[in-house]
Amino acid sequence: LLDRMEVEQRSRVLEMETEYDFVSATVRVRELEAENNHLKAALQKSREKHSRLKQDFGKKVREQNEIIDNCLDKAAAEKQIAELKAYYEARVCELELSLK
């Protein structure tokens, strides 16, 4: 009778340990799922920030290129004005000489 009671007690202890292990594993799975969801949210936020930074960088590059183009256009226009001024000054001199 004692052996039988001892076997039953050991059996119940094993059941309880198994149940405890299962509950512990379930809790750990839920913790890991929560951590995974947190990491997914952080990754999404990081991707969105990266996308915004990439767009901002592209916008800044376009703005800088526009500034450079405007400077080049201005330099070309100033050169053309100087050439035209020199040409007309030479023409004026020619006309003045022809009037003398």
Q: Look up the pTM and report it.
A: 0.54
Tell me the C-alpha distance between 12 and 8, whole Å.
6
**Measuring CA to CA, how many Å separate 23 from each of 18, 27, 32, 95?**
9, 6, 14, 107
Q: What is the pLDDT of residues 36-72, one digit of tens each?
A: 999 999 999 999 999 999 999 999 999 999 999 998 8
